Amino acid sequence: MIAAEIVKAVQDAGGVLKLIDGKLKCSLPASAEYLVPGIKANKAEIETLLCRAGGRVANFPCCPDCHSYALYRLNASNDYKCLTCGLTGIKEVNARQKH
């Protein structure tokens, strides 16, 4: 896989790629662990893509039930609640997967 394909696969899986102090950080769901070797092998190219994208690439979180973007959570460690349909307990990885 080339760097752009890896970045897209991470996004589609609900993962997050970001640069923090110039270092590549990645958060992946367990189902996307197979992408780790490709991320490591293409690290420099992925970092270049992230720089062009503002330092972060991720899907915007939305409700897996009604697909609304109106999600709320008290802080970054809590699950989301959908303000449109009322669904609660939405995990970060589920909110970021393409539906």
Cα→Cα distances 75→63, 72, 79, Å = 17, 9, 9
Q: What predicted TM-score, i.e. pTM, was given to this entire model?
A: 0.67
* Residue 17: burial class (beta carbons within 10 Å; 0-12, 13-18, 19+): buried
Judged against a pLDDT cut of 90, whether residue 84 lies above it is answered with yes
Return the domain boundaries, the chain: 3-58, 60-99
Longest Cα–Cα distance of the chain, Å, equals 42
User: What is the pLDDT, as a whole number, of residue 99?
Assistant: 58
Judged against a pLDDT cut of 70, whether residue 17 lies above it is answered with yes
Instruction: Express as a percent the part of the chain with pLDDT over 70.
Output: 97
- For residue 60, give the DSSP letter: P
Judged against a pLDDT cut of 80, whether residue 72 lies above it is answered with yes
User: What is the pLDDT, as a whole number, of residue 5?
Assistant: 94
User: What is the pLDDT, as a whole number, of residue 55?
Assistant: 87
Mean pLDDT of the chain: 89
Residue 55 amino acid letter:
G
> Who has greater pLDDT, 46 or 15?
46
Instruction: Express as a percent the part of the chain with pLDDT over 90.
Output: 47
Contact 97, 64 (CB under 8 A): yes
